Amino acid sequence: MSKDILTMGIESSCDETSIAIVKNGREILSNVIDTQIPIHEKYGGVVPEIASRNHIEAISRVYKKAIKDANVSLSEISAITPTYGPGLVGALLVGLSYAKSLAFANNIPLVGVNHIEGHIAANYLTYKELEPPFLCVMMSGGNTQIINVKDYTKFEVLGKTRDDAIGEAFDKVARVVGLGYPGGPKVDKLAKEGKPSIELPKTHFAEETLDFSFSGIKTAVINLHHKEPDINKADLCASFEKNVTDTLMEHVKRAIEMTGVKKISLAGGVSANSYIREAFKALEEEKIKVYMPDLKLCTDNGAMIAAAGYYNYINGKRDGLELNAVPNLKIN
């Protein structure tokens, strides 16, 4: 019997300090998450300097709990796999520096992980049977992409946002209607009380493309709210939510036609949105298989990084101590 491979994922790209230990890329032994949401809530968004300081304060405590929860020793870890981008550079450096220290002091291989690959890999933790190829709809505060996952470490971006990411649009809409931060869950909750009865514009490009634009819909909601301050906010949120979901669905259906791939996965924080999940689930009526991560794995966490790190590790990726944070890192 081959030896189990344990990867330690370290995630600190934004406002979650998380360390997890995953066995063979699929089984979570521990997944400790220290969130900073209460800290940043009063500022209406993440303050990078505050995020970095809190990562420094939390990371050793999170590491000790992750080791304890997994009931393993550091000597059993096959690879240290930190996020090195994309994200906030100061925040990334905290987790990456900690990972380098562990790797160097204990002679454990260091394998840097792309944060976007981590979100994709969250699906492997929820669905043990899932294997590439499949299409992934990546939707978060910093990214909106349709990715052709050709293999565990081979990706092709078929479409991406040209301006605001979908999560950024959710946050800005939440802010303008007075819901506060984090915007996505609050818009989702309020939208359940309303009806998508308000006509909102969609952005269409002149050329054939799978690229997105969410700046127009965001601006339309803001302008409408300013013109009609007494507008039903629940209806406005429901209409916004339907608009962006319809846009996602249109693009995904075109991607399926282009590639012939009939397996779709969701990834990123916005994939926790209940309306979006219901819309994608309905694709199964068209004989398209849909995969959605457990809600706890949609937001940033170390387990998804450890899962992605596992596949990079077994495919021979190794990094030296010169590995640096890359805040604008692209997939592939």
Q: What's the rounded Cα separation, in Å, for the pair 263 and 60?
A: 39
Instruction: Answer yes or no: pTM beyond 0.85.
Output: yes
Sequence-ordered strand ranges (E) for 98-255:
113-114, 134-139, 144-151, 154-160
Task: Give pLDDT, residue 1.
Answer: 38
Q: pLDDT tens, 76-131? A: 999 999 999 999 999 999 999 999 999 999 999 999 999 999 999 999 999 999 99
pLDDT for the residue numbered 2: 65
Beta strands per DSSP E along the chain: 6-11, 16-23, 27-35, 79-85, 113-114, 134-139, 144-151, 154-160, 263-267, 289-291
Residue 170 corresponds to which tokens in the numbers above? 């959710």
Instruction: Name the average pLDDT for the chain.
Output: 95
In this structure, the dihedral spanned by the alpha carbons of residues 172, 163, 214 and 47, taken in order and rounded to 10 degrees, is -20
List, in order of start, the domains of the chain with CATH numbers: 6-119+298-314 (3.30.420.40), 132-292 (3.30.420.40)
pLDDT reported for residue 42:
86
State how far the alpha carbon of 193 is from the alpha carbons of 196, 200, 225, in Å. Answer: 10, 18, 18
> What's residue 321's pLDDT?
96
Give per-residue pLDDT as tens, 23-51. 999 999 999 999 998 899 888 889 999 99
pLDDT digits 0-9 by tens, 258-313: 999 999 999 999 999 999 999 999 999 999 999 999 999 999 999 999 999 999 99
Which helix (DSSP H) or strand (DSSP E) does residue 67 occupy? helix 48-70
